[in-house]
Amino acid sequence: MVRVGVHVSIAGSVAKAVERAENAGCDTFQIFSRNPRGWGFHDLSGEDSAAFARELARSGIFPPVDHMPYLPNLATPKPEVYEKSVMTLTAELQRCGQLEIPYLVTHLGHHLGDGLENGRKRVIEAISSALSNAENQVMILLENTAGERNSVGSTFEDIRAVLDSISPQERVGVCFDTCHAFAAGYDIRRAGGIEATMDQFDDLIGLQRLRVIHLNDALGDLGSGLDRHEHIGMGSIGEKGFKRILAHPLFHDLPLICETPIDIRRDDQGNIAKVRRLAR
């Protein structure tokens, strides 16, 4: 059986996310620990953390995953945004520690035309700084990006270059997003495509660094650079593509989190059910 879940809301309290994950039929789930569309946030109280821990233990769902908010850009050359981004990353690591969430997923950001090498350098410095200022064992997971203009982290070579320079090494890993990989040019939908892609990942990064899968179909075509998610099997990867992907042994061992739409065609429960059917 695969371990599959979705991104759930924390509206009302962070502990309510666990009940929402249960109601969706999740084996694992992802949250934003705060409002993802602003810089400001309220500190977590001891009761917030305790209630989340109680609900998590009661539910048996594991692991919970946190995702960085939308505004931070770890690769930006703009000093004010960069400083706020590093502060946000540090704060999110600390919040994960309070909530006993083992993984924090982050995009590597956009260099805004300042060059890939400069963008990488800023990402490395940002993550190393945040890790040194958050005294816990939370692991930052670098998420591959979709090949958008000026993005950092769209290729395995790019991710490897960042990973190699971060300290401490044991607190950094990778989250692999299927939509992003496909949009960046990795043809994971064809016969043998997921095997070839994971072999390349293993050669360049190492499969032991892969901790979480974002399982999303893609609205854009192969190599489009379009970061637009679609329901599982309804996009350009398609049902046959996901059946091949889910047949790979790696996808039976790792938590799979869908960041798919909710609309009249399908809801979260529907995407979870579709993944389980395709994984049989």
Three-state SS at 259:
coil
**214 part of the active site:** yes
**164 part of the active site:** no
The active-site residue, picked from 111, 120, 229, 244, is 229
The active-site residue, picked from 217, 227, 230, 268, is 227
Helix ranges (DSSP H) in the chain: 16-24, 46-59, 79-99, 116-132, 156-163, 178-183, 193-204, 238-247, 250-253, 268-278
The active-site residue, picked from 180, 209, 211, 244, is 180
The active-site residue, picked from 70, 157, 199, 221, is 70
Q: Is residue 173 within 8 Å of residue 138, measured between CB atoms?
A: no
**143 part of the active site:** yes
**107 part of the active site:** yes
**230 part of the active site:** no
Q: Which residue has the tokens 């046959």?
A: 240
**110 part of the active site:** no
The active-site residue, picked from 34, 67, 110, 209, is 67
How buried is 241 (Cβ within 10 angstroms: 0-12 exposed, 13-18 middle, 19+ buried)? Answer: buried
Q: What is the Cα–Cα distance from 64 to 53, expressed in whole angstroms?
A: 11
Three-state SS at 258:
strand
The active-site residue, picked from 3, 34, 107, 244, is 107
**180 part of the active site:** yes
**177 part of the active site:** yes
**259 part of the active site:** yes
Q: What is the Cα–Cα distance from 50 to 54, expressed in whole angstroms?
A: 6
The active-site residue, picked from 214, 231, 244, 268, is 214
Q: Beta partners for 107? A: 143
Q: What is the Cα–Cα distance from 65 to 67, expressed in whole angstroms?
A: 7
The active-site residue, picked from 48, 55, 92, 143, is 143
Largest CA distance in the chain: 50
The active-site residue, picked from 177, 217, 230, 268, is 177
The active-site residue, picked from 148, 187, 259, 267, is 259
Phi, psi at 173, each rounded to 5°: -145, -155
Q: Which residue has the tokens 């979480």?
A: 212
Instruction: Give the residue numbers marked as catalytic.
Output: 37, 67, 70, 107, 143, 177, 180, 214, 227, 229, 259
